[in-house]
Copies of this chain bind each other. A is one copy, B any other.
Amino acid sequence: MSENPESTQRNITEPSIMSGFVELLPKEQMIMTRMTDIIKNTFESYGFIPLDTPVLEKADVLLAKSGGETAKQVYRFQKGDSDIAMRFDLTVPLARYVAQHYGELTFPFRRYHIGKVYRGEKPQKGRFREFYQCDIDIIGNGRLGIVNDAEIVSVIYSAFSALGQSGIVNMGDFVIMINNRRLMNGYFEYLGIDNTVEVLRSIDKIDKTGRESVRKELTGPVGIPEDKADSILDLIEISGSPKETVQRLKEMNIENDTFRQGLSELETVCGNIEFLGVDSDHFAVNLKIARGLDYYTGTVYETVLKDHPQLGSICSGGRYDELASNYTKQSLPGVGISIGLSRLFYQLNEIGALDFGGVSTPTKILFIPMADTVSYTLGKAAEFRRAGIASEVYLNDGKMSKKMSYADKLGIPYVAVIGSDETQSGRFRLKNMATGEQVEISCPDEAKKYLT
């Protein structure tokens, strides 16, 4: 470019990105990347395998089922003869993938997928048009044991516990809440109610608007008789420990097979969760959660932060009887959850729950050479790197204060200045940038005693 004689007259294009899209500054991005790593590692510790599908799909395939709101939000365009749609979630591509590669997969197929999805929503605070989802799903071939639903709770528990213990997120306690759609549907059947989606949509609001408001909606627009509305409200307000809740549901002696099946599933899930090491403070049965607009058929999950309930569910999902009925006649039941990571990150940042002091550049030691020690210092850094200590050499000229300030700004925890004395003795001082303390060392093993 410098070879171009016109470059000095070149027009400057104002750099900017589109509204509804986001990019982070380094300190934020480092936290975001660490959070992603933690979630990925948790998923892998349960044996979920990675999956990656194209961001662009054939529009007619991706949108085989979708209508209404979803279709309107999809980024869809033509290129050449292709009618292209950008994925709007990771579940539809999963369904397409499992149907397409059915014969080549080993079931149960347990996959995780962390990737960007696209929705042309009206931009608003904390809602993005491009955002990360972190999904896990377990897909059975024909059937999938209900104990898988308990394991999903344990994965959510492990992921948020690991985030909480990482020192980069101070989000306080969380609670994973479950319900069972079969149990709810069975109860509606038992009451002779058939507009279940409307009912679920209505009761989903109870924590926001209160019992009376929901009762009015149920008995008014939804058209439920008063006694039945009260029965529904009584049911969903059952509380207590998971065991107590299951016990109370049993004592209702509801004569309906769907209800009984749902209750039995709920009992099995609750019964296994304690063995999975999920702290009882972090798990609850909540018959109010319905996820009415989703296609779940059994267990449903929501996760809330105790200190920040206004954030809503930070991790949701459920059991579905047929994952891929649009793409195959194979019966592929599944259970899964999704963490909306971009939104979670944004919200945690907004409430001040990200600990920027706890994160730094990957670099552990910044080596600062003097003019005549550059080569030696490069070798020293290479030696430390080989020993597993991420190391960086400051390779620009400038005042020492500027070099120190570079370490400070990036949050590099240790600095070592290498002058000619150091190259002769082979020993140098490692300065802790937080405390100012210095220790003299010569090799990576010595350094490891001090590095945190």
Contact = CB atoms under 8 A, between A and B. Distances in A.
Nearest to A23: B53
A392 B362 CA distance: 31
Given A1-B320, A362-B49, A15 B100 contact: yes
Interface stretch (A203-211, A243-251, A268-276, A437-445): A268-276
A96 B143 CA distance: 50
A238 interface: no
B25 A50 contact: no
Contacts of A60: 13
Contact of A7 (B48, B64, B108, B325): B325
Nearest to A115: B116
Interface string A325-354: 111110000000000000000000000000
A190 interface: no
A293 interface: no
A362 B48 contact: yes
A252 interface: no
A12 B327 contact: yes
A434 interface: no
Interface in A83-102: 84, 96-97, 99-101
Interface stretch (A281-289, A303-311, A370-378): A370-378
A57 B17 contact: yes
Nearest to A158: B385
Interface string A43-57: 011111111111111
Given A23-B97, A110-B392, A1 B325 contact: yes
A410 B110 CA distance: 11
A356 interface: no
A450 interface: no
A192 interface: no
A106 to B, nearest CB: 4
A124 interface: no
Interface string A193-226: 0000000000000000000000000000000000
Contacts of A388: 45
Nearest to A105: B26
Contact of A79 (B75, B140, B383): B75
A144 interface: yes
Contacts of A158: 385
A18 B58 CA distance: 6
26 contacts: A1-B295, A1-B297, A12-B326, A12-B327, A15-B100, A21-B56, A26-B106, A29-B50, A30-B49, A30-B50, A44-B390, A45-B385, A45-B390, A46-B385, A46-B391, A55-B116, A56-B75, A56-B130, A75-B84, A77-B77, A106-B409, A110-B392, A147-B393, A151-B393, A151-B395, A277-B386
Interface of A: 1-3, 7, 10, 12-18, 21-26, 29-30, 32-33, 44-58, 60-61, 64, 75, 77-80, 82, 84, 96-97, 99-101, 104-106, 108, 110-111, 116, 118, 120, 129-130, 140, 143-145, 147-148, 150-151, 154, 158, 185, 271-272, 275-277, 295, 297, 320-322, 324-329, 361-363, 366, 374-376, 378-379, 382-383, 385-386, 388, 390-393, 395-397, 406, 409-410, 412
